[in-house]
Every structure is written in structure tokens, then in C-alpha cells.
Amino acid sequence: MAALRSEAPHPHAAVLFIDFLFSPEGQKILENYEYGSATKDYGFKRWYMSIQQLERESGRWEKLLRELGRK
């Protein structure tokens, strides 16, 4: 996913850059810097959380983040 500001100072250059990012060469560069692609199979099972699971677990995650922030 990429976004372009409506008032970009150089909109044509931005469009060309976004086009490059989605090209095979751009995807290879991004992958070298550990930015994955949603279309590539990385060999692990994807995990999805339902809204109910998120609501149940949110308190635990908030507590963990507070504890980590104190260190």
C-alpha cells in the first residue's frame, strides 16, 4: 500500500516513485530491508484475531506494555 498527498510538492515524481516501489526491482529492495509483501508466501501460517479475541486480550496487552514502559 502506498499513499500520495493531494498537495505533494512534486506529484509526478511521487507517482513514479510509487510505481517503482511496486515493481519487481522495488519489491526486492524493500525485501532486503525486511519490508515484506502481502503477496509473497513466507512459509508460515498467517494468524488472524477476531474482534472478540482482541477485546478479551486487550487488557493483558495493555498491562504488558505499561510494564515494558517502566523499564
pTM: 0.50
Please report, in tens digits, the pLDDT of each residue of the chain (71 residues total): 788 898 999 999 999 999 999 999 998 898 888 887 767 777 888 778 898 988 888 999 899 999 988 76
Under 8 Å between Cβ of 15 and 5: no
- Domain residues of the chain, as ranges? 11-70
To the nearest 10 degrees (0 to 180), the angle between helices 11-21 and 24-32 is 80
